[in-house]
Amino acid sequence: MAVRTHSLRVQKRLVLTGHAWTILPGVGTAEEVAGGTLSAAPLSEPDVWRSIVLGMPRTGRTPPAVEVVARELTRQVRTAVHEGSRPAAQLHAQGAATEGERGERASSAERADKAERALIPPGYGGIRTFSCPTSPISAHDGGMQRTPGPLRSSVESWAPDAVTDVDDLHAAPVAALSALLDEPAPVATTGDPLPPLWHWLYFLRWPAQRDLGADGHPRHGHFLPPVPDRQRMVAGGRCTIDEPLRLGERAERVSSLGAVTTKRGRSGELLFVTQRHELRQRGRTCLVEEQDIVYRSGRTSTPHTRAALDPSATPRPDGRWRLPLHPDPPLLFRFSALTANAHRIHYDTPYTRDVEGYPGLVVHGPLLALLMLELVRRDAPSRQVLSLSYRLRSPVFAGEHLLARGTPHDDRADLSVATHRDPAHATAEVTFTER
């Protein structure tokens, strides 16, 4: 359960009554970070700082759901600090430090401790304090700053209501994707649990042909922002899984709009939209997913990449878990059909090269995410995924040799997709437990 509140008193009460974790002075989620807010406060003035504190009880059994939340929050903090998405961020009181390190950060850590520890009851450990300036930097598009502009004004009154869809989760799409991945038999049949992210094969929308734009994307949609000459990119997402969906049983999906934020980067103004999906079966919530989608108005004047495609080059065989794939146009066509994706960059080479500025057909971002999750299914079949997060960092093209790589740890794994050009076109982290 996640709690969002501006009230410090409410959050203090949550900790004192044994809810095992909280963030002070506000509750921050991946959606808020991606949308340009942190600790329920807008990220506007660069000189305003916020602090996040994570607390876990030292004694007693921690519920699995709480462990998942705490691990995900800690991962977000480490990512922001170590991967450079917020270069001025600092991570205090993380484990033991040398005398020199303690001396350098003592004053800031002590100030944070005095301000926050008064609100954390005795017996709580694993404290992480994260201080962050309120101007985020994105690894995708240089030094992006949150700024009002034409895109912001385009969506000021855009507030679509939640939408509920149902699907019987028939077995045929799973059999089809299994064949695409060269599995000798369907990976699941009626009554079996659906592998993580394979729900993307369901709840599909097929617009009329006249409703498609020149790029193959729908012209209109309930959750498509009213942006002129709209261009769309999937940036990443997150998913928590309480229990797997069961194939062959009716499921319900409730979709709603999350954060909507505009930022300006080197290539112009961008609109970040987070869409939330809650999937249920038999009246119970099975999984909650958030997808981060980036929109721009119009095309960039420079090519997306000047990469020279080398169909013979292969990536380094790193990682304990490895799964190669050599995507070609028929594979991309089949995946487009399975996911109701008519975007021409996946099947129309002249359009992709001459209009979009790519050197070749683009491999679907969702396919890269699914490929990373295949590592867990194939190499750790006894483990059930509890949560996952992924980022799509740079495109992969048809004809390139790619390799999904994984490094397992005790209760989690770090995953990536590499080519000879880039060791991390996509990255993911999953947490799991034994079935």
For 40, 207, 375, 379, the CA distances from 347, given in Å and listed in that order, are 42, 18, 26, 31
DSSP state of 363: P
On the question of pLDDT at 36 being above 90, the answer is no
DSSP string, 13-64: HHHHTT-----SSS---HHHHHHTEETTEE---TT-EEEEEEEEESSSPPPH
Q: What mean pLDDT comes out for the span 5-28? A: 43
pLDDT value for 262: 83
**According to the per-residue pLDDT averaged within each range, which of 89-98, 237-246, 306-315 is highest?**
237-246
**Residue 134: how many CB atoms within 10 A of its CB?**
20
The more confidently predicted of residues 224 and 80 is 224
Task: Check whether 340 has a pLDDT greater than 60.
Answer: yes
Residue 34: Cβ within 10 Å count: 24
Minimal CA–CA distance to 417: which of 368, 378, 379, 381? Answer: 368
List the one residue out of 428, 409, 377 whose CA is nearest residue 238: 428
pLDDT digits (tens, 9 = 90+) for 100-141: 434 443 443 343 344 333 333 333 333 333 333 332 222 233
pLDDT above 80: residue 334: yes
Angle at 32 between CA 11 and CA 418, to 5 degrees: 130
Is the predicted pLDDT of residue 8 greater than 90, yes or no? no
- DSSP code of residue 117: G
What DSSP line would sit under 156-215, residue for residue?
A: TT--PPPEEEEE---SHHHHHHHHHTT-SS-S--TTSBPPTTGGGGSS-----GGGB-TT
pLDDT score of 415: 96
Q: Would you state the pLDDT for residue 159?
A: 86
Residue (of 275, 261, 269, 260) closest to 228 by Cα position: 269
Q: What integer is the mean pLDDT of 428-433? A: 93
Q: Does the structure show a pLDDT above 50 at 158?
A: yes
CA dist 173 → 177, 199, 204, 341 (Å)? 6, 10, 11, 14
- For residue 304, what pLDDT is reported? 59
Joined tokens for residue 185: 């038999």
* Chain centroid to CA 310: 29
Please give the structure tokens belonging to residue 209: 């042909």
- Return the domain boundaries, the chain: 8-133, 145-434
| CB distance 3 to 27 below 8 Å | yes
Confirm or reject CATH 3.60.70.12 for domain 145-434, answering yes or no: no
DSSP letter, residue 87: T
User: In the predicted model, is pLDDT for residue 29 greater than 80?
Assistant: no
Distance between first and last Cα of the chain: 22
Q: In this structure, what DSSP letter does residue 147 have?
A: -
Q: Roughly what angle, to the nearest 10 degrees, separates helices 329-338 and 172-180?
A: 160
Burial class for 100, CB neighbours closer than 10 Å (0-12, 13-18, 19+): exposed
Average pLDDT, the chain: 75
The Cα 386–Cα 111 span in angstroms is 35
Q: What is the mean pLDDT of residues 200-216?
A: 94
Q: What angle do CA 422, 426, 429 make, to 5 degrees?
A: 130
Contacts with 423 (C-beta within 8 Å, 6 or more apart), sequence order: 315, 316, 318, 416
At residue 407, φ and ψ (nearest 5 deg) are -120, 105
pLDDT interval class at 300 (50, 70, 90): low
| Model pLDDT, residue 27 | 38
Residue 114 has a pLDDT of: 40
User: Of the candidates 38, 34, 35, 36, which has an alpha carbon nearest to the alpha carbon of residue 4?
Assistant: 38
Pairing of β 268-281 and β 383-392: unpaired
The pLDDT value given to residue 91: 45
The pLDDT > 70 percentage for the chain reads 63
CB < 8 Å & 24+ apart, contacts of 60-69 = 62/20, 63/20, 64/386, 64/433, 65/1, 65/242, 66/19, 66/20, 66/21, 68/240, 68/386, 68/387, 68/431, 69/2, 69/21
